[in-house]
A and B are shown apart, each in its own frame.
Chain A
Amino acid sequence: MTTPLSQIRNFSIVAHIDHGKSTLSDRLIQFTGGLTAREMTEQVLDNMEIERERGITIKAQTVRLNYKAKDGQTYVLNLMDTPGHVDFAYEVSRSLAACEGSILVVDASQGVEAQTLANVYQAIENNHEIVPVLNKIDLPAAEPARVRQQIEDVIGIDASDAVECSAKSGLGIEDVLEAVVTRLPAPKGDPSAPLKALLVDAWYDVYLGVVVLIRVIDGQLKPGQQIKMMQTGATYKVDTVGVFHPKATPVDSLNAGEVGYFTGQIKLVADAAVGDTITDEKKPTAQALPGFKEVQSVVFCGLFPVDAADFEDLRNAIGRLKLNDASFTYEMETSAALGFGFRCGFLGLLHLEIIQERLSREFNLDLIATAPSVVYRIGLTNKTEIELHNPADMPDPVKVDTIAEPWIKATIFTPDEYLGAVIKLCQDRRGEQRELSYVGSRAMVVYDLPLNEVVFDFYDRLKSISKGYASFDYEMIGYRQGDLVKMQILVNAEPVDALGMLVHRGRAETRGRAMVEKMKELIPPHMFQIPIQAAIGGKIIARETVRALRKDVTAKCYGGDATRKKKLLEKQKEGKKRMRQFGKVEIPQEAFIAALKMDED
């Protein structure tokens, strides 16, 4: 039995991180009877532990709700839960492309945030109809009138009939569902045309194998059908098709306008490229859907096991994560400082953090991550251009003609009192101001910033100077040439490859000074003094010295103490595994971890 297009609504929820998107989704599922109360664990849609902990969505998910509206008709509502972070901007855009409308959830006490803005603009770009919803309306601090005005001023959409609700208490949930049915458009499509479906996302399920989430545009998808991925050219036989309620439930077919999943003999998640068009192999559609992009890593860093003996475990873990996350890339890397590891590419900083955390959490690995680096485009004197993912691979400076770095457009919302500090931070980071406006007592500043200044510790600095109140979002705006140089950190006159970085010449001294000061604190005194230097080519731009150890000797050592001393030495031997030898200097792993950490000053 196929649902007529007029009775289908596909929509997503756009919200800032803690404005209640997940709670509202859960409430909608509960209201329409998707799950019994017993089955409702907190925030159903965020499956991964990390997703729940951080309150973020990493993988797109969908749930089909059957809603009997006040007009007496039963509607099929597909709620698409989209990743809410700029790192996953492409995934978000594909999820949004699978829907006709969005609910814009704004916390009635907090108002619009930078992230809300970026996401809602994406929805608007995808021609979405937008229904504003004021959540947490029952909070004493709620200011619905002010927030309505703000939505109109900042986002520029009509908020006069915004729905008021409280996802937490369940207030106004039916009003939200009614608005979805009455105010969002039904999908368009041709049920009798050849199959044309958008690949929204894919993941690996231990029971089902690779599960592919799709939106059918035209035609029909059925078990047994031979399909073709138009970008990759691969063909597969469909095993099962189904929908999420939110539990996976097989159906006979998925038809034009519907959202659901299928499984087939797909081995790797990487074989299911987000944004690809799926069609019938024998009766293909004429044209693929627009908007497909190859996955592109934006940020790179090296991941190394703390204990070199764990390298094989790391290799296995990375391989297994890759099974489920096609968007990160890796290749083997050797570092004199850190031994064997992998150079990994990520969609952004959050993605990097998530992968790192999953590796340590799900695979129990102790890791060192090198400083994140962006992708530089190096113009060589022989008129060719290379992409540089790792500062260690920087060509000989005499062969380098130009270096271009990626820039972003950053949108920052901040309470007025922190505006001065925010502007100073952006200026310090080579930012160029594009826009400055006020929304009530909040300022919105838009800056063009080099991404390499942002990956350093920008976000943490922003949080700290604004006491956590500033919100930040960004999009890539392309490459610009810059006066960039490679800075090395030398410990006892030996360059430490893991600490090398490309910096803007004007910022090199500050960065170099910060780095050598940090390393000075982190390298324990040795029996000799250790110079720590930051250098560009042969020129030293900052220097610190770790003083030689003056005294380290046990006062009393007689009969029984020998036994004790030997036990201590055994421990030290163990501890040595966590040390890296640099010429004569031993640097504890912790020093690298701390030096490479971005969240400290």
Chain B
Amino acid sequence: MVPPLPDLAVYVHWPYCARICPYCDFNVVRARGREAEAAALAEAVVADIEAQARRIGPRRLISIFFGGGTPSLMDPAALSRIVATAKSLFEPAPDLEITLEANPTDAEAERFRAFAEAGVQRLSLGVQSLDDAALEFLGRNHGAAEAERAARAAADAFPRLSIDLIYARPDQTVEGWRRELGQALDWAPEHVSPYQLTIEPTTAFGRAAARGQLRPPDDDLGADLYDATQAVLEEAGFEAYEVSNHARGEAARSRHNLAIWRGAEYLGAGPGAHGRVVLDGARTATVGARRITDYLAQVEKTGVGFEVAERLSPRDAAEERVLLGLRIDEGVALSALRALGLQTATAPVADLLEAGFLRIDSDRIAAMPAGRLVLDRVIAELLTA
């Protein structure tokens, strides 16, 4: 009998946006006037996946994820071609997940049907807020009513719907946030990703915060908002299977992101896309050329789009498994800790277990709810020991 092929997820980065949000520090550019370049990029992504597939070898394809940027601005035909390419190069799993991130505007909602026909069956909708003033503050190009229309259209067009929200905005109250979150649940998503607003230094918000013009809630209120999030979603039947990800049942979880948190292989295509694939027998971190023109040139020159391919040492790989694995409810295999020279009977692991931040479940170790709230600290304790 032939051994089963290893799983592979494919991530496609589409960097174009109609407008750049002031909190976003991803690799993004304004879309206007770049239609020809976008067409060339779609072709390059196809070529990149083909070239990487030759180097990676046969795999079982479990997910294709279109992220960005705003991949819902893509030509559905181009998306279809990328999907077809990936499916032809790898062996598609029967439950292959194809996710598209989308902005909730009327213009994009009109194309939901076309994307569904192109193969997308899971939509991740960047609603961010249900409050018009908050949406303006967040620099979004849609209002709450428009977002609701888009969400309803998405629920019709796709079997699976996930909603992104941003909380811990300045002046936000716990009560207001509970109400807002409850309203979003009325749209019947199977999956919700509420993210605490993070001020990144290289963004417009980061600069405003540095000038003292923006003051996000303090850690105490941040913690209260987080607790409220957990409570509202739990009551509505969602499982907090990751720090910021909640799903109604196992099947509603993001298979793509689970693959990443579990340390599976993922291929990254597109400008600045990260990948983790086994090349020449070693787990390798790849990073696509960040600028679009550089990426196009890189694909032209070398076939693949990544300009960095760093072989991870067993220790590096184990560190990644721990820092990602502890974010999900199933945790990480104890073998990953042992690979870092950590024992459960001694500090720091023993202390974290005793303090109720971590728990052991047969051969796995996972974060307790209290540990999840301070997970960065827990991870630092483990990985800087």
A contacts, CB < 8 Å to B: 526-528, 549-560, 562-563, 565-566, 569, 572-573, 576, 584
Q: With A and B bound together, what is the CA distance between A558 and B264 in angstroms?
A: 12
- Listed stretches B32-40, B106-114, B145-153, B367-375; interface member: B367-375
Contact status A559-B275, CB under 8 Å: yes
14 contacts between A and B (CB under 8 A): A527-B374, A527-B378, A549-B374, A550-B223, A550-B373, A551-B226, A554-B376, A555-B195, A555-B196, A555-B243, A560-B272, A565-B323, A566-B323, A569-B383
When chains A and B are docked, how far (Å) is the Cα of A569 from the Cα of B376?
10
In the complex, the answer to whether B323 meets A555 with C-beta atoms within 8 Å is: no
Interface residues of B in 252-274 (CB under 8 A from A): 257, 260, 266, 268, 272-274
Q: Does B377 contact A (CB under 8 A)?
A: yes
Residue of B198, B257, B275, B276 touching A555 (CB-CB under 8 A): B198
Q: Is B175 an interface residue (CB 8 A)?
A: no
Residue B384 interfacial (CB < 8 Å):
yes
Query: Could you say which residues of chain B place their CB within 8 Å of the CB of A569?
Result: 319, 323, 379-380, 383-384
Inter-chain contacts of A553 with B (CB < 8 A): 243, 372-376
Q: Which residues of A contact B285 (CB under 8 A)?
A: 563
Q: How large is the interface on B (under 10, 10 to 19, 20 to 34, 35 or more residues)?
A: 35 or more
Complex interface residues of chain B between 338 and 385 (CB less than 8 A to chain A): 351, 355, 357, 372-381, 383-384
Interface hub of A528, A562, A566, A572 (most chain B Cβ within 10 A): A562
Contacting residue for B274 out of A555, A560, A572, CB 8 A: A560
- Across the interface, A527 reaches (CB within 8 A) one of B275, B327, B355, namely B355
Chain B residues, CB < 8 A from A560:
272-274, 287
A528 to chain B: closest residue by CB: B355
CB distance from B284 to the nearest CB of A (A): 12
B244 CB within 8 Å of chain A: yes
Tell me, in angstroms, the Cα distance from A526 to B381 when the chains sit together: 11
Main secondary structure of the interface of A (DSSP, over half): loop
Q: How far is the CA of A551 from the CA of B275 in the complex (A)?
A: 30
- With a cutoff of 8 Å between Cβ atoms, the chain A residues found around residue B324 in the complex are 557, 562
- Using Cβ atoms and an 8 Å threshold, which residues of chain B touch A556? 195, 198, 244
List the A residue with the shortest CB-CB distance to B166. Answer: A555
Q: Which B-chain residue is minimally distant from A556 (CB atoms)?
A: B195
Chain B 176-206 interface mask (CB, 8 Å, partner A; 1/0): 0000000000000000000111100000000
Extra inter-chain contacts (17) besides given A554-B243, A559-B276, CB under 8 Å: A527-B357, A528-B355, A549-B219, A551-B226, A552-B373, A552-B374, A553-B373, A553-B374, A555-B197, A555-B243, A556-B198, A557-B243, A557-B323, A560-B272, A566-B323, A573-B384, A576-B384
Give A314 to B366 CA distance when docked, in angstroms. Answer: 45
Q: How far is the CA of A556 from the CA of B324 in the complex (A)?
A: 11
Which chain B residue has the least Cβ–Cβ distance from A565? B323
- CA separation between A526 and B351, bound complex, in Å? 13
For A551, what are the chain B residues with a Cβ–Cβ distance below 8 Å? 219, 222-223, 226, 373-374
Q: A559 contacts B383, CB within 8 Å?
A: no
Rounded to whole Å, the gap between the CB of A419 and the closest CB of chain B is 41
Nearest chain A CB to B287's CB is how many angstroms away? 8
Within 8 Å of chain A (Cβ to Cβ): is B306?
no
Q: Which of A559, A566, A569 has the most CB of B within 10 A?
A: A559
A435 CB to nearest chain B CB (Å): 51
Complex formed: what's the CA distance from A559 to B27 in Å?
Answer: 13
B320 within 8 A of A: yes
Which B203-223 residues have a C-beta within 8 angstroms of A? 219-220, 222-223
Q: Once the chains are docked, how many angstroms separate the CA of A463 from the CA of B210?
A: 34
Q: Could you tell me if B274 and A559 are in contact, using CB atoms closer than 8 angstroms? A: yes
* In the bound complex, CA of A573 to CA of B272 (Å): 27
Using Cβ atoms and an 8 Å threshold, which residues of chain B touch A563?
Answer: 274, 285, 287
CA–CA, A362 and B373, complex, Å: 46
A559 touches B11 (CB 8 A): yes
Residue of chain A at shortest CB distance from B323: A565
**A559/B260 in contact, CB under 8 A:** yes
Q: From B373, which residue of chain A is reached at the shortest CB distance? A: A551
Separation of A584 and B380 alpha carbons in the complex (Å): 14
Measured between alpha carbons, how far is A370 from B276 in the docked complex, in Å?
49
* Of B195, B266, B319, the contact of A566 (CB 8 Å cutoff): B319
Closest A residue by C-beta to B372: A553
Contact A549 B377 (CB under 8 A): yes
Interface presence of B316 (CB below 8 A): yes
Shortest Cβ distance from residue B57 to the other chain A in the assembled complex, whole angstroms: 20
Inter-chain CA distance A85–B75, complex, in Å, is 81
Q: Give every chain B residue within 8 A of A584 (Cβ-Cβ).
A: 351
> Are A559's CB and B243's CB within 8 A?
no
B266, A550: Cβ atoms closer than 8 Å? no
A552 in contact with B376 (CB, 8 Å): yes
Nearest 3 A-B pairs (CB), nearest first? Answer: A560-B274, A551-B223, A550-B223
Contacts of A526 in B (CB 8 A): 377
A560 to B287, CA, bound (A): 8
